């Protein structure tokens, strides 16, 4: 659930108050001229997207849903042992998005990013990830979700997460993030000009973007959860 209206109700307002300024515009090639209002000053916010998952049996395979896409591909980041499949995510009769992880072998041709070659590998687990990439994008505001975490705190292996990534890159498509993730530097930094692909030092328009403005795909983690080693029952929540 992503529901700004619920946030406002919880803080004493029955419904979102219309923003005093013009509605949020689509992303632009140049940075916005004014900063985002104080997050605690909720009179600035109105609901722009909410998904209650209250229709059972939804499919999130590519092209099936207007907001979400469940990727169907190998995940070779962080030495992952799983394959992402649309078959492992759906909605139930209680208004929940249900993501499952199973012990199930999948044969894939994966990429060895150390030796830079393709090779056939076996992924021993299967799970799912849904993304809003290129379907729903925003430049600021309040995000709220209700999430029930899986597994036991004393058993490792799971790494559930809910997070954001700048739309220039797409997670698990590693080539899209080279020299783009996790940059947020907009001004020219001569010492980093070779590291940041869309640098503020560029004197010409690049990829149709305004010259002299750095671009990147910063990652904002709402949470990432994994078992913390050493003590049974201990968990780490990474923000």
- Angle, alpha carbons 224-6-222 (nearest 5°): 15
Nearest-5° Cα angle at 111, 106 to 114? 130
pLDDT at 115: 83
Residue-averaged pLDDT of the chain: 81
The DSSP bridge pattern shows strands 89-91 and 97-99 to be antiparallel
The CA-atom distances, in angstroms, between 209 and each of 8, 196, 204, 231 are 36, 15, 9, 49
User: For the CA atoms of the chain, what is the radius of gyration?
Assistant: 20
Percent of the chain whose pLDDT exceeds 70: 76
Q: For residues 140 and 24, give the distance between their C-alpha atoms in angstroms, rounded to a whole number.
A: 9
Cα-Cα-Cα-Cα dihedral sign, residues 26, 166, 53, 5? negative
Q: What's the pLDDT tens digit per position in 154-181?
A: 777 888 999 999 999 999 998 899 999 9
Three-state secondary structure call for residue 175: helix
How confident is residue 131, by pLDDT bands cut at 50, 70 and 90? very high
Say if CB 100 and CB 91 are below 8 A apart. Answer: no
Joined tokens for residue 23: 């509605």
Strand partners, 83: 74, 126
Query: Residue 153 has which token pair?
Result: 């705190």
The pLDDT assigned to 74 comes to 92
CB 168 within 8 A of CB 215: yes
Contacts 24+ apart (CB under 8 A), 94-97: 95/52, 95/53, 95/54, 96/53, 96/148, 97/53, 97/130
Give me the pLDDT at residue 219, please.
94
Query: Mean pLDDT: which of 124-138, 143-157, 206-220 is highest?
Result: 124-138
Q: Structure pTM? A: 0.75
Q: Does residue 234 contact residue 227 with C-beta atoms inside 8 Å? A: yes
Mean pLDDT of 212-226: 91
3-class SS at 73?
A: strand
> What is each CA distance from 154 to 6, 123, 161, 208, 236, in whole angstroms?
33, 23, 18, 49, 11
The reported pLDDT for the residue numbered 89 is 98
The predicted pLDDT at position 47 comes to: 87
Q: pLDDT grade, residue 23 (50/70/90)?
A: very low
pLDDT at 10: 47
Phi, psi of 222 (to 5 degrees): -75, -45
């Amino acid at each position: 659930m992503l529901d700004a209206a619920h946030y406002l109700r919880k803080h004493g307002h029955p419904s979102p108050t219309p923003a005093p300024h013009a509605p949020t515009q689509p992303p632009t090639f140049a940075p916005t001229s004014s900063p985002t209002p104080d997050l605690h000053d909720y009179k600035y916010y109105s609901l722009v997207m909410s998904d209650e998952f209250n229709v059972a049996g939804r499919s999130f395979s590519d092209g099936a849903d207007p907001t979400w896409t469940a990727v169907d591909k190998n995940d070779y980041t962080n030495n992952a042992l799983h394959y992402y499949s649309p078959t492992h995510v759906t909605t139930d009769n209680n208004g929940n998005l249900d993501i499952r992880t199973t012990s199930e072998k999948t044969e894939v041709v994966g990429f060895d990013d150390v030796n830079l070659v393709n090779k056939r590998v076996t992924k021993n687990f299967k799970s799912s990830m849904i993304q809003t990439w290129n379907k729903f994008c925003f430049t600021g505001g309040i995000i709220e979700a209700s999430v029930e975490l899986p597994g036991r705190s004393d058993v490792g292996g799971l790494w559930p997460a809910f997070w954001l990534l700048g739309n220039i890159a797409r997670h698990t498509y590693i080539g899209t993030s080279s020299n783009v993730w996790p940059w947020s530097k907009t001004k020219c930094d001569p010492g980093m000009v070779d590291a940041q692909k869309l640098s503020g030092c560029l004197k010409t328009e690049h990829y149709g973007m305004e010259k002299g403005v750095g671009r990147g795909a910063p990652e904002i983690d709402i949470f990432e959860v994994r078992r913390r080693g050493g003590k049974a029952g201990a968990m780490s929540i990474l923000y």
